[in-house]
Amino acid sequence: MAVSAVDKVALEKWVPRTRVGRMVVEGKITSLKEIFDRNLPLLEPEIVDYLLPDLKYERIDAGIVQKMTDAGRRTKFRVVVVIGNGNGFVGVGSGKAKQYTDALAKAIRNAKLNITPVRRGCGSWECRCGEPHSVPFTVTGKSGSVEIIIKPAPKGTGLVAGDIGKVVLRMAGIRDAWTESFGETRTSLNFAKATLNALKNTYRFVTPVDWLKS
């Protein structure tokens, strides 16, 4: 699902409050990748909207949570979403609110602030096509009790993963991958965050392909 028109209207009225936001508006920063390459803080979700206009989101979990207080039982909606452009950027976020629409908006905002770049490649010795359809090497991610291992797969394999893992990988632009998961994978948020952390680890190493680019 594409970013709503409400976000576009808010973007037109956006007044940057941080140095990075002002640099984006002034044209000194032209891509989200540049922010991560320069290790700059991402504190405003409008920066993501400004630099990634083709961003989409998908809801992976929604439910009701209750909390006992002195005033009685309080009920809120809890929503978990995955955002991405299908081309190397993905984020996971959650939000709680009394109204579902407010919870969804909070989850999308949180996901934008947690967005991360993903290095893609063709790390499978069975393929070696050179196209960025999979991960460049095996990566591991963990969140709570959930741990996931993502391995490169040859072209045409598809995404061999759980439903939530497939959403995160697809939003990141990964088309082929083998995965192994351990722990309480029924916990949607932890499963999504573990997959996100694994994809984030693709940027901890530089591949020979990246040497040629630099």
Query: pLDDT, tens digit, for every residue of 61-106?
Result: 998 888 877 777 888 999 999 999 999 899 999 999 999 999 999 9
In a domain, 131, yes or no: no
Domain with residue 172: its CATH number is 3.30.230.10
From CA 168, how far away is CA 200, in angstroms rounded?
Answer: 12
User: How distant is the alpha carbon of residue 189 from its chain centre?
Assistant: 12
How many Cβ atoms from other residues are within 10 Å of residue 117's Cβ? 18
Residues 145 and 99 both lie in one domain = no
The radius of gyration of the chain's CA atoms, rounded to the nearest angstrom, is 18
Query: Can you give the pTM of this predicted structure?
Result: 0.88
- Please determine, for residue 192, whether its predicted confidence score (pLDDT) is greater than 70: yes
From CA 24, how far away is CA 16, in angstroms rounded?
Answer: 9
From CA 18, how far away is CA 16, in angstroms rounded?
Answer: 6
Residues 26 and 102 both lie in one domain = yes
Residue type, 9: V
Domain with residue 58: its CATH number is 3.30.160.20
pLDDT of residue 4: 45
From CA 151, how far away is CA 157, in angstroms rounded?
Answer: 12
pLDDT digit string (tens) for 94-147? 999 999 999 999 999 999 999 999 999 888 888 777 788 999 999 999 998 999
Residues 20 and 91 both lie in one domain = yes
Q: Are 32 and 45 in contact (CB under 8 A)?
A: no
